[in-house]
Structure 1
Amino acid sequence: MTSQDDHLDGIGVGPWPGEWPTDARYDPELLELGDRRNVRDEYRYWTREAIVADLDTRRFPYEVAIENWQHDFNIGTVVRNANAFLARAVHIVGRRRWNRRGAMVTDRYQHVEHHATVGEFCEYAAGAGLAVVGIDNLPGAVALEETRLPERCVLVFGQEGPGLSDEVREAASMVCSIAQYGSTRSINAGVASGIAMHAWVRQHVWGA
């Protein structure tokens, strides 16, 4: 069933006009009251479970991770980007709790996993056959704009400020930097995640 937290003023559609569909994917509560969730039109009135099941048939074979040692507020944005760019899963490495507000409810449609340590996360990546790719502007990093990302990989983002931990840097098969042209030395993980995920999509979905 739906939750009042799903609803956003001014977005969506009202109650279903006419006879209700009998397809099990439709939520009777949404059909009756309207669907104000921030979802694509083809998912209007569907249950959350039906939406997740449909997304699962189309998710891309890359995943993303973000370290969470200091309650980073960028995590919600990373999750929202992962939903937009159809990553298979998001991994939170470190603290389990994170601020979900920035995710704009997209965490309900995204597989989010937790790993208490970098070692535990790396064990998962190795078992899943995923190359660990760090995203950070570090000495020796290769330019994302000039790099072919592995098709099966997990893109890892560090904390705002310190960036990737030493453990992740050592475990990564490569670290990619994002070209910047202004006065700041770094961009936050939320912005970096969107750029990196879009780069993967351009390379492996659009064939760029």
Structure 2
Amino acid sequence: MAGNDGRRGALRKPGTKKGPKVGTGGHSRRRLEGKGPTPKAEDRTYHPAYKRKVEREKRQAQEAAIARARAKTSIKIPEGHELISGRNPVAEAVRANVPVERVFVLDNVKDERVEEVIRKASALGAPVLEVTRRDLDVATDGAVHQGVAIDVPAYEYLDVADLIAQSTQQVGEPLLVALDQVTDPHNLGAVLRSTGAFGGDGVIIPERRSASVNATAWKVSAGAAARVPVARATNLVRALEDCKKAGFFIVGLDGGGEAELRNLPLATAPLVVVTGAEGAGLSRLVRETCDQIVSIPISSTVESLNAAVATGIALYEVASVRAAEASQE
């Protein structure tokens, strides 16, 4: 109709055309999708697993640094051999006729024990090599070597039957020590030292879950590892049963023992003293094999004794009872 185009309502204002409007752009959808999978525990800085991961990586880095240092040192120890260091342990090993492959010594060491080691090693045809302090530091993992070390073959263990036979041939009543799941070589070395000091004839250890006679045990034993024989048993319970058949009594050390160690009646008989790991104590089967379980009286403020300390106390008590009886005869 004429004139209609003049109506104000018939005209659309510029920019008012309907169409798509600005939306979320997918923000809501992405919000619903979440933030992705949860990081591993060891990747979360606040989690204990992260701290363990950091410690593990630090330890691995240290081990790698030691390996690199060893690759540069002039001291190379064949697989299966041990490096015994320290003047007393080295001298005792040589006096006990332990086979010596090589002697490593600093050029400025002046000591009678070291001179004795050099003389005996030279007489046996073992080369004596002059090395640097850094070489010995690296080869002994930073242990106190006192300027001398020897390379020896792997320790030769006795059979349990041989140790039993050997101990019964000694003067006086035989005395053996058995260690049940003691995995720290420091403890083994200390037990060897106490066994030698209090007249023990040898130590029995299981093949599995036990420390071996390595460089650490040699060092702590202060030479006793060269004098006190060690037998390795495939089954400790069976080894203790063999000792029983040979006339030994088996006494186990445990905090909940039925009797106290003091004035132990069985001390004067052929005896095997059995010590378990600190905290865990004797395993069930070993405990059941013992003829008697005894305890060492200690203060209530202390939960338990170190395995080596407990063994040393027990051996001292046995030696005291035997000495007292011998004096009355």
Shift, 1:118, TM fit:
2.5
Query: With structure 1 as the length reference, what TM-score do the two structures score?
Result: 0.69
For the Cα contact (< 8 Å) 1:130–1:153, is it kept in 2? Answer: yes
Computed over aligned residues only, the root mean square deviation of the Cα atoms, in angstroms, reads: 3.3
Distance between the aligned counterparts of 2:220 and 2:280, measured in 1? 21
Shift, 1:135, TM fit:
0.9
For the Cα contact (< 8 Å) 2:178–2:204, is it kept in 1? Answer: yes
1:107 paired to 2:107: no
User: Aligned to 1:133, what secondary structure does the other structure show?
Assistant: strand
**Which of the numbers 128, 132, 142 marks the counterpart of 2:259?**
142
| Greater fraction helix | 2
How many residues are treated as equivalent by the alignment? 174
Distance between the aligned counterparts of 1:81 and 1:87, measured in 2? 8
Report the residue type matching 1:198 in the other structure: Y
Deviations 1:92-112 (A, max 9, x none): 124265251422331111111
Deviations 1:25-66 (A, max 9, x none): xx962899xxxxxxxxxxxxxxxxxxxxxxx85575111111
For the Cα contact (< 8 Å) 2:250–2:271, is it kept in 1? Answer: yes
User: Aligned to 1:199, what secondary structure does the other structure show?
Assistant: helix
For the Cα contact (< 8 Å) 2:199–2:319, is it kept in 1? Answer: no
**Which of the numbers 48, 68, 76 marks the counterpart of 2:181?**
68
Over the matched positions of the two proteins, sequence identity in percent amounts to: 25
Distance between the aligned counterparts of 2:172 and 2:86, measured in 1? 23
Instruction: Specify every segment of 5 or more residues in structure 1 that has no aligned partner in the other structure, as ranges.
Output: 17-26, 33-55
For the Cα contact (< 8 Å) 2:174–2:270, is it kept in 1? Answer: yes
Distance between the aligned counterparts of 2:299 and 2:86, measured in 1? 38
Q: 1:120 to 1:202 in 2, by over 3 A?
A: same
For the Cα contact (< 8 Å) 1:133–1:174, is it kept in 2? Answer: yes
Alignment of 1:22-171 (within 5 A): 29=120, 61-68=174-181, 70-71=183-184, 73-95=186-208, 97-98=211-212, 99-100=216-217, 101-138=219-256, 140-150=257-267, 151-171=269-289
Q: 1:122 to 1:86 in 2, by over 3 A?
A: same
**Which of the numbers 176, 194, 197 marks the counterpart of 2:312?**
194
Higher radius of gyration, 1 or 2? 2
For the Cα contact (< 8 Å) 1:68–1:94, is it kept in 2? Answer: no
Distance between the aligned counterparts of 2:293 and 2:110, measured in 1? 42
Q: Where does residue 7 of structure 1 map in the other structure? A: 87
Q: 1:4 to 1:116 in 2, by over 3 A?
A: closer
Q: 1:12 to 1:134 in 2, by over 3 A?
A: farther
Report the residue type matching 1:67 in the other structure: D
Q: 1:97 to 1:184 in 2, by over 3 A?
A: closer
Q: 1:14 to 1:167 in 2, by over 3 A?
A: closer
Query: With structure 2 as the length reference, what TM-score do the two structures score?
Result: 0.46
Q: 1:167 to 1:31 in 2, by over 3 A?
A: same
Shift, 1:154, TM fit:
0.2
Instruction: Specify every segment of 5 or more residues in structure 2 that has no aligned partner in the other structure, as ranges.
Output: 1-82, 89-108, 124-168
**Which of the numbers 183, 200, 208 marks the counterpart of 2:301?**
183
Distance between the aligned counterparts of 1:187 and 1:176, measured in 2? 14
